[in-house]
Structure 1
Amino acid sequence: MLATVTLSSSVSDKKEMNELPKTVRSNFALVPAGMVYVGSDSMALTHFYLLKTEVDNLSYREFLGDLKKNGKQNEYSIENVDSTKWRSEMAYCEPYVNYYFSHPAYNQFPVVNVSYEGAQLYCKWLSEKFNQLYSHEFAYEVRLPSRVEWLYAAESAMRKTPYTWGGPFLRNSHGCELCNYKCVGDEKISEDSITHTVSAFNTAGLDGADITAPVESYFPNLLGLYNMNGNVAEMVSEKGIAVGGSWASTGYDVRNESIMNYTQPSPLVGFRPLLIVKRK
């Protein structure tokens, strides 16, 4: 999917944002209306809001706790995190089975091992919560973004750029990594002398993170969105597709256009809700 974007922030969009409750303003970034071009096709998008970060463990635990408190046991079992995926899907990750989702040290780390249905129901729960607390002037709808909406926000005001910060490189001018990915140094790359295939070995982190990083790590893009590339691949409304790459992806696979397919909860996949606000 090759796409370019043209954003057109309006005074009315900014006015609306300034009228939203502080909790909403501080957690969601305004994505202005504009045009997104996919190949030879173009699509007009109205403004929307996107969570500045991936959903973290603390927020998802609050969601599960609310389900349990209200006796929604069936939903709780569907949406609960499958921490055993750390064991079955990854190597040398046994400690995360018991600690990653539940220990306070990981409160601000992105929730993973969540099903598509769990992510959708989290969005539904957040919609209900916002409408109960802040329904005086606005109606709120929270959902997963489509792939086009996500890509539009990732590219922000910059066209045809592989990464959300606009440049083609994974490090800034100071040599700092710009996202959480499988950083492979030149000294770890080998070419087979017979098949001439290239492989990497001993790729443990050069980017400051062993697995995931806290959701406000690295630098946000121009819209204020963190970790659109790397950290965890993010579910979109199209089931089975996660975008932006993860902490276990190579640099090429954390581009804005990168796609990862999934069929079940994964330690590599999280999500980030989109918010639509309508004045009553």
Structure 2
Amino acid sequence: MNISKYLGFALVGACALTACNKGGRSATNPGKYSSTTGIEYNTEEGMKVSDYQGIPEGPGLVFIEGGRTVLGSAEEDVAMTHDNLERTVTLASFYMDEVEVANIHWLEYLHYVRKDSAEEFYMSALPDTTVWARELSFNDPYVDYYLRYPGFRYFPVVGVSWLQANDFCTWRTAKVNEVLAGEASESGGGSRKGGLFSRKKNKGGDAAEGTSDNGGVKIAIENGNTLPNYRLPTEAEWEYAAQALIGTQETGNENQENKRIYPWDGRQVRNPYGKGRGQFLANFKRGRGDYAGIAGSLNDGAMITEQVFSYPPNDYGLYNMAGNVNEWVQDIYRPLSYEDVEDLNPFRRNGYLDPSEKYDKKGYQSLIDDHVRVYKGGSWRDVAYWLSPGTRRFMAEDSATATIGFRCAMINAGSNK
């Protein structure tokens, strides 16, 4: 082999190792050749590296830029719980539903569950509409009509337990990714055409790995054309998103010099600006017996829940992060979570460091065990105190009321921000 030929091979090898691309390698530009072995991708011998242009857009989600914040109650601790003291934490960016899951979304869920699942599971997915029934109130119409009557389509679903909400998140993930995988297969693994909920059939291909045990599409994560799991937000994520302090931040100032009692500016619950001046910014109970104000001058205008797009959104673009319905979050409840959990993406998934054996539930001295979950946000039946993002309460994960709903969240995959 002469020296010129040897140099030629050397140059080709160097080009292969660096992929000869300008601007360096990245997730969206991995190069044509492996920088470890020099083997060409997407050949018979080489590994398949799918085209990736970033996480697909998930339906209903709003991007929440993470960062440092101070979590904890900014209100006077009138309940004397001392269970959410202020502390500094950092949260990674994530996505959250723009609105609470509404009746029409749950009815769609029931539609597909009835088609694809056993009757037993369908029955377990039905919300408990009897949560509206009260012995000394005439709420009977809500029992029969609230979930299914068309006029209530975009009212938040209630009567769902924490367990049911988790099942919904699992179904939503599978259904959305099934559609995405089918679209990617039809387009050869490339762009998504026809809209997120087009009715194209999945034809397999590189976007899917075959069929799962339950007959659904088995998604290949490596292809990057599907979404991470929809799930309930952690308590820290929910509280951070409700604060929406991004709206108070000055450009170039690394100090967070403002804080909010509610998910909006000011210390009051009424709108201080413009044409809506004087109107309430959330749906809540003003005082004993006052759910909506007087005829001709209604304050929040809602005796019970209100449509999910009612009232102004906060600075992240999220609606009803205070009032309307309380919302389930992932965490189990412990009064000492604020001092036990870590300060990066804090989350309490179990009783570690604070086991349930410490709480005498069997002796009726406590309500705490490993099956009680936190809910936050205040509701149409709560006074303004509970609208503050730092307040927290808990209930058994298999229980439901007319005042608790939920919304979904999702990680920001492929980013360290």
Q: Distance in 1 between matches of 2:92 and 2:139?
A: 42
* Structure 1 residues 121-270: aligned runs within 5 Å: 121-135=167-181, 136=184, 137-157=225-245, 158=248, 159-173=258-272, 174-184=277-287, 200=288, 202-206=289-293, 207-238=300-331, 239-263=372-396, 264-270=399-405
Q: Distance in 1 between matches of 2:231 and 2:102?
A: 16
Distance 1:240 1:89 in 2: 27
Once the 2 structures are TM-superposed, how far is the Cα of residue 40 of structure 1 from its aligned partner?
Answer: 6.4
Are the equivalent residues in 2 in contact too, given 1:138–1:277 (CA < 8 A)? no
Whole-angstrom CA distance in 1 between matches of 2:86 and 2:279: 36
Determine which structure has more spread, i.e. the larger CA radius of gyration.
2
Does the 8 Å CA contact 1:78/1:117 hold for their aligned counterparts? no
Q: CA RMSD in A?
A: 2.2
Give the number of the structure with larger relative contact order, counting CA–CA contacts within 8 Å between residues 6 or more apart: 1
2:409 maps to 274
Which one-letter code corresponds to 2:281 in the other structure?
Answer: L
Change (3 A) 1:78 1:175: same
Q: Is 2:132 aligned against 1:45?
A: no
Equivalent position of 1:65 in the other structure: 111
Does the residue aligned with 1:226 lie in a helix, a strand or coil? coil
- Give 1:258 shift: 2.4
Unaligned runs of 5+ in 1: 1-17, 185-199
Q: Which structure features the higher share of helix residues? A: 1
Contact 2:103-2:156 at 8 Å conserved across structures: yes
Q: Distance in 2 between matches of 1:100 and 1:150?
A: 26
Taking structure 1 as reference, are residues 67 and 119 closer, same or farther at Cα in structure 2, changes over 3 Å only? same
User: Deviation digits for residues 132-185 of structure 1, max 9, x if unmatched?
Assistant: 12255343211101111100100112543111113211001210110000023x
Name the CA shift for 1:89/1:49 in 2 (closer, same or farther; >3 Å): farther
- Secondary structure of 1:182's match? coil
**Aligned-partner SS, 1:84:** helix
How far apart in 2 are the matches of 1:269 and 1:90?
A: 21
Deviation larger for 27-36 or 213-222: 27-36
Normalised by the size of structure 1, how large is the TM-score?
0.81
- Contact 1:33-1:45 at 8 Å conserved across structures: yes
Q: Determine helix, strand or coil for the equivalent of 1:242.
A: strand
**How far does residue 89 in structure 1 lie from its aligned partner after superposition?**
7.8
Counterpart pick for 1:29 among 62, 82, 99: 62
Aligned length: 245
Stretch of structure 1 that moved more, 154-163 or 243-252: 154-163
Read off the aligned partner of 1:182 and give its amino acid letter: K
Does the CA-based 8 Å contact 1:143-1:274 persist in structure 2? yes
Separation in 1, partners of 2:414, 2:393: 36
Work out whether residues 55 and 227 of structure 2, in 8 Å CA contact, stay in contact via their aligned partners in 1: no
Contact between 1:89 and 1:266, CA under 8 Å: does it hold in 2? no
The structure in which a higher percent of residues are strand is 1
Cα separation, 2, equivalents of 1:91 and 1:214: 23
TM-score by length of structure 2 reads 0.55
Aligned to 2:37: none
Identity percentage of aligned residues: 33
Cα distance, 1:236 vs. partner? Answer: 0.5
Amino acid at match of 2:386: D
8 Å CA contact 2:61, 2:97 repeated in 1 = yes
DSSP 3-state at the match of 1:153: helix
Structure 1 residue matching 2:242: 3-state secondary structure:
helix
The verdict on how the C-alpha distance between 1:40 and 1:230 changes in structure 2, with shifts beyond 3 A counting, is closer
